[in-house]
Structure 1
Amino acid sequence: MDWNDPGGRTIDLAVARLKATDPAARIGSLLLHPGGPGSSGVGYALSLNNFSPELKRRFDIVGFDPRGVEGSGRIACSTQLMSQFPDPLIKSQAEFDAWLDYGKRLRADCRARTGPVFDHVDSVSAARDIDAIRQALGEEKVTYYGLSYGTLVGQMYAELFPHRIRALALDSNLDHSLSTGPYLYSWATFAQDSFDEFVKWCGRETRCALHGTNVRAFWARLLERADRGEIRAPGAPARSLTRQDVIRYAFRAGYVPTWFELAELLVALDAGAQEPPASAAWLLGETTNSRQAPAAAELEVSNPLQIFCEDFRWPIRDYREYTKHLRRAKAIAPDMGIVPTSLTLTALCLGEPDPIPNPQHRLRVKGGPPLLIVNGLHDPATGYAWARNAAAQIGKKARLLTYEGWGHGAYGRGDCVTAAVDAYLISLRLPARGTRCPAVPVAPPDAADRPA
Structure 2
Amino acid sequence: MFRRPLALAVAVLALLAGAPAPARADPGPPGLVWGECADDLPDVPLDPAVRCARLRLPVDWARPHGPTFELAVARRAARVPERRVGTLVFGPGGPGDSGVERIRKGDRFSPELLDRFDLVSFDPRTVARSAAPVCAPDPNLRRPPIPLADQADFDAAVAWNRALWDRCRPTSPVFEHADTVSTTRDLEALRRALGERRLTFHGSSYGTLLGQQYAERYPGRVRAVVLEGVFDHGLGLRPFVRTQAATLQDSFDEFVSWCDRSIECVLHGRDVRSVWAGVLARAGRGGYAPRTAFDVTAVALGLLAGPRWPQLATEIRKMDAGTPPDEVKLPIAVAAFCADWPAPVRDYDEYAALVREAAAAAPDVRYGAGLLAVQTCLGWPSPVRNPPHRLHVRAHTPLLLINARHDPRTGYAWATDVARQLGRHGHLVTYEGWGHGAYERNDCTIAVVDRYLVDLTLPAPGARCPAS
1:273/1:329 CA distance change after superposition, 3 Å: closer
**CA pair 338-55 structure 1, distance change in 2 beyond 3 A:** same
- 2:313 corresponds to: 263
Residue pairs, 1:99-138, within 5 angstroms: 99-115=157-173, 117-138=174-195
Deviation string, structure 1 residues 92-137 (Cα, Å, up to 9, x no partner): 112111222222222222112223x111100111111111111111
Question: Does residue 201 of the first structure (1) align with residue 258 of the second (2)?
Answer: yes
Is 1:60 the counterpart of 2:89? The answer is no
Give 2:344's aligned residue: 315
Q: What secondary structure, in the 3-state scheme, does the structure 1 residue paired with 2:193 have?
A: helix
Structure 2: which 5+ residue stretches go unaligned? 1-58
- Secondary structure (helix, strand or coil) at the match of 2:71 reads coil
SS in 1 for 2:400: strand
Given that 2:240 and 2:370 are in contact with CA atoms closer than 8 Å, whether structure 1 keeps it comes out as no
User: Which residue, out of 70, 77, 86, partners 1:19?
Assistant: 77
Task: Choose the corresponding residue for 1:287, options 310, 316, 328.
Answer: 328
Please point out which of 84, 91, 95 is paired with 1:33.
91
Report 1 or 2 for greater relative contact order, CA contacts < 8 Å, sequence distance ≥ 6.
1
Report how far residue 366 of structure 1 moved. 2.1
How far, CA to CA, are the matches of 2:349 and 2:63 in structure 1? 41
Q: Does 1:406 align with 2:463?
A: no
Greater CA drift, 329-338 or 402-411:
329-338
Residue 363 (structure 2) aligned to one of 330, 334, 339: 334
- Distance in 2 separating the partners of 1:34 and 1:304: 12
Measured at CA, do residues 83 and 202 of structure 1 come closer, stay the same or move farther in structure 2, by a change above 3 Å? Answer: farther
Contact 1:245 1:289 in 2 (8 A): no
Conserved 8 A contact 2:216-2:395: no
Query: Which of 382, 390, 411 is matched with 1:383 structurally?
Result: 411
Residue 396 (structure 2) aligned to one of 363, 368, 382: 368
Correspondent of 2:303 among 231, 253, 261:
253
In structure 2, distance between residues paired with 1:435 and 1:82: 55
Q: Separation in 2 of the partners of 1:362 and 1:155?
A: 11
Structure-to-structure mapping, 1:107-256, within 5 angstroms: 107-115=165-173, 117-231=174-288, 241-256=291-306
Partner SS state of residue 314, structure 1: coil
Given that 1:163 and 1:369 are in contact with CA atoms closer than 8 Å, whether structure 2 keeps it comes out as: no
For 1:15 and 1:184, locate their aligned partners in 2 and report how far apart those are by CA, in whole Å. 34
- The 1:147–1:190 alpha-carbon spacing in structure 2 relative to 1, beyond 3 Å, is same
Counterparts of 2:264 and 2:333 in 1: how far apart (Å)?
39
Q: Would the alpha carbon gap of residues 216 and 389 (structure 1) be closer, same or farther in structure 2, given more than 3 Å must change?
A: same
> In the aligned structure 1, how far is the partner of 2:192 from the partner of 2:408?
36
1:329: Cα distance to partner? Answer: 1.4
RMSD value, Cα: 1.8
SS in 2 for 1:410: coil
Q: Which residue of 1 aligns with 2:23?
A: none
SS, match of residue 112 in structure 2: helix
* Percent identity over paired residues: 47
Distance in 2 separating the partners of 1:367 and 1:36: 25
Aligned length: 410
2:451 maps to which residue? 423
Could you tell me how far 1:81 is from its partner in structure 2?
4.9
Paired AA for residue 379 in structure 2 = G
Task: Report the secondary structure of 2:102's partner residue.
Answer: helix
- What amino acid is aligned across from residue 301 of structure 2 in structure 1? F
**Structure 1 counterpart of 2:359, one-letter code:** K
Q: Deviations over 1:378-400 (max 9, x none)?
A: 00000001011111111101000
Structure 1 residue 77: Cα displacement: 1.1
Deviation of 1:304 after TM superposition, in Å, equals 2.0
Q: Which residue of 353, 376, 383 corresponds with 1:348?
A: 376
Q: Does residue 1:392 correspond to 2:420, yes or no?
A: yes
The one-letter amino acid paired with 2:78 is A
Cα deviation digits, residues 224-272 of structure 1 (max 9, x gap): 12222334xxxxxxx6532112111111111010100111121122224
Q: How far did 1:83 drift?
A: 8.5
